[in-house]
Structure 1
Amino acid sequence: MQIERLVQMIFYIISRKKVTAKELAEYFGVSTRTIYRDITTLTLSGIPIVSKKGSGGGISLLDGYTLNRSFLTNEEQLQVYQGLQILQASNYPEADQALNKIGSLFNQLPAEDWLEIDFSYWGSSDDEKITISELRRAITQKKLLRFDYFNSELQRSNREVEPLRLIFKSHAWYIVGYCRHNQDIRVFRLSRMKRINVLDETFDRALAEDFSLGDSTYSTEYVTFKLRFSPEMAYRLFDEFQEDQVKRCSSDCYLVTVQYPMNEWTYHRLLSFGPYVEILEPVEARSELKKRALKIAQQYNQEEDI
């Protein structure tokens, strides 16, 4: 829609100070004639856009011009303000200064702290905490990360990784980066990264534009699990599964259909539900969990015989 393009055009010009009509046309996918018509529309609406032809010319906003706060609705102002509060909670650099400026502009009073972002696990010490600010610095300034990493079998290894992207997916944070040990792009779950250090050493690498977490070497083959849960586990189901994965049965039990890999992580996760879960499918997973449960029972039986 034209109105959306006009709004985006203003912020595009503000962020780049000076642009050309050709650049705007390519960015918005329209003709230069359309761009000139949009500029005329903005000028007539009171936005002081200056257009100069010739060498060194271009399209810019009049020096000293700032957008009036009425340009944004109250809801949009609140969204901007709350976005800055999220950055402030994650210790993002200079977020406090930006928050105060926006608060003054929007007549928003700084609210009490309502959000805290902490990547460390429960009970961890302060020296194990890592913030978004530190990870942002490592990624944007291309600083090498060094950390201890625990895989799904709890095997520890020391890694040096060139961090390229921070991703939040399926209730967890991940770092995507080039692992110098494996000499390949790998995905590391943040909760398994311990003693993280941002080094002074820099690197020169970028993540492919078509990178997808689903295509990474972290991915594995998933199969469909059908699980039956006792009502005692109802409090955990909607914390750990999607609503459309859970179905309540007439017998007061719950059926869950979910995609899991056939690996150690899956069996450890299911064992955490104790006797309150039963694997219906696949058959091989049902047999494997039964074997592990019997092994646990045998261990305790041996202790009673001692």
Structure 2
Amino acid sequence: MTINRHFEIIYILLDRKIVTAKELAEHFEVSTRTIYRDVDVLSGAGIPIYSSKGKGGGISLLEGYSFNASLLTSNEQEDILTGLQTLVVTDFPNSDKIIKKVSRLFKKDTTNWIDIDFSPWGSGPKSKQLFASLRDAIINQFVIHFSYINSEGEKSERNVEPLQLLFKQNAWYLSGYCLWKKCFRIFKISRMREVTVTNQPFSPKPSHNAIKNAETQVAHSSVPVTLRISSKGAHRIYDEFDDHMITKNQDGSYTVNTQFPIGPWLDSYLLSFGILLQEIHPEDLRARMLAQLDKLKNNLNRSE
């Protein structure tokens, strides 16, 4: 408690320049004798704090003193402020007040250089609130309930102990322990519907690397795939594949060598390239895609 009071005294003096011992005593609900004892301790620790008597007198810091002079380098200050700014843009409780205090403490102006919106373009307030609800459930350790659509198009109801929000390959995921499947799972947040934070508390299971585990599961069900994509698809190629997977051909097209899990999700994904997709290997995947195109053609013909 004493250390916290010492720290806040420095902050108050940096913010207000000069304060009387009586004002500080009333603020901290201690005696003025305790405040003067705090001043002696801070002075002995190398903080240039002093008191003056008479009209206009009080306790103050040496002009030009800043907190970083004795504790943090300029780069360390910037790192702290950067970390706090990421809390501000995620609507972390009271983060705006915290960054205001710390920036004053360091005597630095903050630049609003980053902004983050987790929701899709055109989303309403309900979608924007989802991340805040998930964050609070993780921090406060409450089970969440939601409907989920998997990559096979199957809908299920889930109760999950949320552990972490993950960003992977242009999409957000929730890592948690699924009480239905009795194992750790990751869920694509865009497929979660009717998310409710329950009042059921939980104790976190032993930590695990959710992304590594998910990649291991995907790798077990994946096969090598080679795609040739038109030059007009360059924007998607560099958005969705690593450089080591990409080869630019003499005619301007691109060859992509990667791995995919075979299933309905892959069919939809490859069809999304439309006429940009010029070649597919292996042969059975190519045949599968042609069959899907025939089904699409028949569906469209029936709708006429």
TM-score normalised by structure 2 residue count: 0.70
Higher-Rg structure is: 2
Unaligned runs of 5+ in 1: 1-13, 15-46, 49-66
* Paired residues for 1:137-152 under 5 Å: 137-152=136-151
Q: Which residue of 2 aligns with 1:181?
A: 180
Change beyond 3 A, Cα 1:224–1:212: same
Q: Which residue of 1 aligns with 2:241?
A: 241
Q: Per-residue deviation at 1:272?
A: 0.4
Equivalent residues, number: 239
1:6-60 deviation digits (Å, cap 9, x = unpaired): xxxxxxxx9xxxxxxxxxxxxxxxxxxxxxxxxxxxxxxxx96xxxxxxxxxxxx
Change beyond 3 A, Cα 1:176–1:114: closer
Letter in 1 for 2:178: C
Q: Mean Cα displacement is larger for which, 144-153 or 124-133?
A: 124-133
Q: Per-residue deviation at 1:87?
A: 0.7
1:46-80 deviation digits (Å, cap 9, x = unpaired): x96xxxxxxxxxxxxxxxxxx94144333332222
- Rounded Cα–Cα distance in structure 2 between residues aligned with 1:131 and 1:140: 14
What's the RMSD between the two structures over aligned residues? Answer: 2.6
- Rounded Cα–Cα distance in structure 2 between residues aligned with 1:97 and 1:131: 23
- Rounded Cα–Cα distance in structure 2 between residues aligned with 1:195 and 1:88: 26
- Rounded Cα–Cα distance in structure 2 between residues aligned with 1:140 and 1:192: 22
Unaligned runs of 5+ in 2: 1-6, 8-43, 46-65
- Rounded Cα–Cα distance in structure 2 between residues aligned with 1:229 and 1:92: 42
Q: Contact 2:142 / 2:202 at 8 angstroms: preserved in 1?
A: yes
Change beyond 3 A, Cα 1:167–1:114: closer
Q: Contact 1:225 / 1:280 at 8 angstroms: preserved in 2?
A: yes
TM-score normalised by structure 1 residue count: 0.70
Q: Per-residue deviation at 1:113?
A: 6.6
Q: Contact 2:233 / 2:276 at 8 angstroms: preserved in 1?
A: yes
* Paired residues for 1:1-306 under 5 Å: 68-70=67-69, 71-112=71-112, 114-118=114-118, 120-130=119-129, 132-204=131-203, 206-216=204-214, 219-220=217-218, 221-303=221-303
- Rounded Cα–Cα distance in structure 2 between residues aligned with 1:104 and 1:294: 66
- Rounded Cα–Cα distance in structure 1 between residues aligned with 2:227 and 2:216: 25
Q: Per-residue deviation at 1:211?
A: 4.2
SS of equivalent residue, structure 2 residue 129: coil
SS of equivalent residue, structure 2 residue 284: helix
Q: Per-residue deviation at 1:108?
A: 2.2
Letter in 1 for 2:196: N
- Rounded Cα–Cα distance in structure 2 between residues aligned with 1:242 and 1:202: 40
Change beyond 3 A, Cα 1:195–1:113: farther
Change beyond 3 A, Cα 1:211–1:75: closer
Q: Contact 2:142 / 2:199 at 8 angstroms: preserved in 1?
A: yes
